[in-house]
Amino acid sequence: MSNETWRPPPVLLTVDLVILTLRSSSLHALLIKRGIYPHKGEWALPGGFIADSNEDIFDAARRELREEANLDATVLHLEQLGAYGRPDRDPRGRIVSVAYLAIAPGLPEPEAGTDASAASWRPVEEVFSGHVRLAFDHRQILDDGLELARSKLEHTSLATAFCGETFTLTELQRVYEAVWGFELDPRNFYRKVQAVPGFLTPVGPDRRPTKGRPARLFRAGPEQVLRPPMMRPVPRTGNEKER
């Protein structure tokens, strides 16, 4: 085929957003219920088409989050997750989506707008168990976003943002368990956390529970990049405990 006759195939561009937060000590994702074709009435990640050829992709992601869930993306750190362009991912045609990830504490209740009939924080476990099915290839995008979030907890101090100004190691451990998706051995967790220079700063006085010994209090330390990282335990089968 000559260069004079070749024309690029028509491709449309969308954005999708994986927004994660902790609610009631479990990891939740922001989902919207689609109010239009295709997949009307099904749950999906918030997102949509770029407005026009002059709109920046990042600006489109912020706009879609505001329009579909009434959340202010300017207070979030949106990180590009990847591009998704499988030819059959959308029945409307060849559509490529650029996905973004944000994970943050204390996010407000969403409010549905534009082409969303509902917006809600849903436990990610509902998606992984099959109780909630996602439209398009959004399950794959959510899986990729969760993996990046888990990696960020390994290499950065992000987990401390989900605790109060001061917190116990047990409270910090619950954040890791919620995002990583399994229970951790407390003694090994405490040892690993306190082996990372600058991760935590001890403060006093200790918090006294109703029973048992007082719990030592900490706050986030000065280091945002963890060296050595807080690596996830290798998954095992059976009743073995984390080492």
pLDDT digits (tens, 9 = 90+) for 136-158: 999 999 999 999 999 999 999 99
Q: What is the pLDDT of residues 101-126, one digit of tens each?
A: 999 999 999 999 888 999 999 999 99
- Paired sense of beta strands 95-103 and 79-84, if any: antiparallel
Higher pLDDT: 236 or 41? It is: 41
Q: In the predicted model, is pLDDT for residue 96 greater than 70? A: yes
In this structure, of 31-40, 160-169, 195-204, 212-221, the range with the lowest mean pLDDT score is: 212-221
State the residue for tokens 């700063």. Answer: 201
Angle at 146 between CA 117 and CA 66, to 5 degrees: 35
Count CB atoms within 10 A of the CB of residue 8.
5
User: In which residue ranges of the chain is CATH 1.10.10.10 found?
Assistant: 156-220
Count CB atoms within 10 A of the CB of residue 135.
19
One-letter amino acid for residue 207 of the chain: R
CA distance 196 to 85: 40
CA distance 135 to 117: 14
pLDDT of residue 44: 98
Average pLDDT over residues 159-168: 95
- First-to-last C-alpha distance (Å) of the chain: 61
Q: What is the pLDDT of residues 39-88, one digit of tens each?
A: 999 999 999 999 998 999 999 999 999 999 999 999 999 999 999 999 99
Q: In the predicted model, is pLDDT for residue 93 greater than 90? A: yes
pLDDT of residue 215: 82
Structure tokens given for 150: 């888990």
Using left for φ > 0, alpha for ψ between -120 and 50, and beta otherwise, residue 142 falls in alpha
Under 8 Å between Cβ of 71 and 88? no
User: In which residue ranges of the chain is CATH 3.90.79.10 found?
Assistant: 12-154
CATH of 12-154, one of 2.40.50.100, 3.40.50.460, 3.90.79.10, 3.40.50.300: 3.90.79.10
Average pLDDT over residues 85-104: 96
Domain over 156-220 is classified CATH 2.60.420.10:
no
* Position 169 confidence tier, pLDDT thresholds 50, 70, 90: very high
Count CB atoms within 10 A of the CB of residue 115.
14
Angle at 166 between CA 26 and CA 107, to 5 degrees: 40
Q: In the predicted model, is pLDDT for residue 9 greater than 60? A: yes
Q: How far is CA 9 from CA 52, 119, 161, in A?
A: 18, 34, 45
The model's pTM: 0.90
Structure tokens given for 180: 């990583």
Average pLDDT over residues 209-226: 83
* Position 241 confidence tier, pLDDT thresholds 50, 70, 90: very low
Average pLDDT over residues 191-217: 81
Provide the CA 30 distance to its chain's centre, in angstroms. 9
